[in-house]
Amino acid sequence: MSKKKIAFLTAGGIAPCLSSSIGALVEQYNASAPDAELIGYLNGYQGLLTGRSMVFPDEVRKRYATLYQYGGSPIGNSRVKLTNIKDCTERGLVQEGENPLHVAAEQLKTDEIDVLHTIGGDDTNTTAADLAAYLQDNGYDLTVVGLPKTVDNDVYPIRQTLGAWTAADQGALFFQNVANENTTSTRQLIIHEVMGRHCGWLTAGTAESYNKSLDGYDFFPEMLIDRQRWDVDAVWLPEQALDFEAECDRLKARMDDKDGVNLFLSEGAGMDAIIGEMEAAGEEVPRDAFGHARLDQINPGKWFADKLKGRLGADKVLVQKSGYFARAAASNDRDLELIKASAAKGAEAALAGISGVAGQDDDKDGEMSIIEFPRIKGGKPFDTNEQWFVDLLGRIGQPRSEKADTSH
């Protein structure tokens, strides 16, 4: 086998799998292509467009396992959509009149890259799909293989995306400390805002992980340290039809009973109502390069806090966001096992010249496969009929409700 040149880039928001994914791919290539040259484009597609890269030194080959200990990305991220010519031009990533896909393809050709590994979510891999199609249609001899990361677990047709399990456990860990804030006031409402634009999987998974963690607590009811006060009272997801009036009545009763309420809120829950209210007031909705509303600027937690404070008779309201804490963690053991399996399949496909995304294919009963790029898309909703979630709602006394159409 001739010596190959293999490149990596990580893109989008960070997740608890990027550093580990690079480590796992390096581990694979140590065995299958020990003579290959490995490079990383710095800050994702931004580095690819501007020609900023680094050659992996021999020390990376030797110490790949060290990358398993870290969160974030050792080669940096950015949010760039190669088909958004206007945005790429305004940011100075390409010159006026240039096609970013062509610029990227020419950079890969100049760098003599044989394989490009893209590690990211649906936006990263749909952009990789656009790039792979452009390369094929224009005669570039190059293989593109993606690994699917996103804490939202919302990519079709992938059963479990890399980093999501870790993010749920880390969000639970975050709330283990935040929950103690219930002792600072009477009638306290704590809103735990969790990442999840269209998909509530992470919010549900975080609530489930936190609820289970309480099994290990040594509660002390004689000192008002009891499970009821520390437990979850509501989980609100984009996939659920929120009967706001009924939930206010239910949570008001919880507040009266236990002197506090703990609400796990997916940041995408109620977004249609929030954006509608902003537009009706003539406010501009901030959006990113992909057209997504910037949830960090819209602040759904505060919006709900303002609505709920009076309805629940709360003396104090605390909104806490676990997103940056959770997504920046190193991979847990469960994720690391999935990352290594994905890297093994991805490296195998790359050396065989097969482009696509390495992931658990829902259309093949979750089998680890190379999924064709055109089949990759975002917006996969959480299935609220998952038994573990049904059981969770039963434990916390929240009625089940599901939107008739979860695609909007």
- List residues with catalytic annotation: 152
Tokens standing for 194? 């969790």
Tokens standing for 357? 């995304």
Q: In 179-243, where does DSSP find H-type helix?
A: 201-213, 227-230
Which CA distances in Å does 122 have to 78, 158, 282, 340?
14, 10, 31, 20
| Buried b / exposed e along 218-236 (16+ C-beta atoms within 10 A) | eeeeeeeeeeebbbbbbbb
Residue 330: name the closest of 152, 46, 65 by CA: 65
Identify how many contiguous H helices and E strands the chain contains and give both numbers. 16, 11
Tokens standing for 102? 């062509």
Asked if 270 and 300 touch (Cβ cutoff 8 Å), the reply is: yes
Asked if 162 and 336 touch (Cβ cutoff 8 Å), the reply is: no
Compute the distance between CA of residue 355 and CA of residue 276 in angstroms, rounded to an integer: 41
Burial class of residue 112, CB neighbours in 10 A (0-12, 13-18, 19+)? exposed
CA 248 distance to own-chain centroid: 30
Residue 362: name the closest of 157, 155, 164 by CA: 157
Tokens standing for 331? 């991979």
Which element (helix H / strand E) includes 280?
helix 271-280
SS3 40: strand
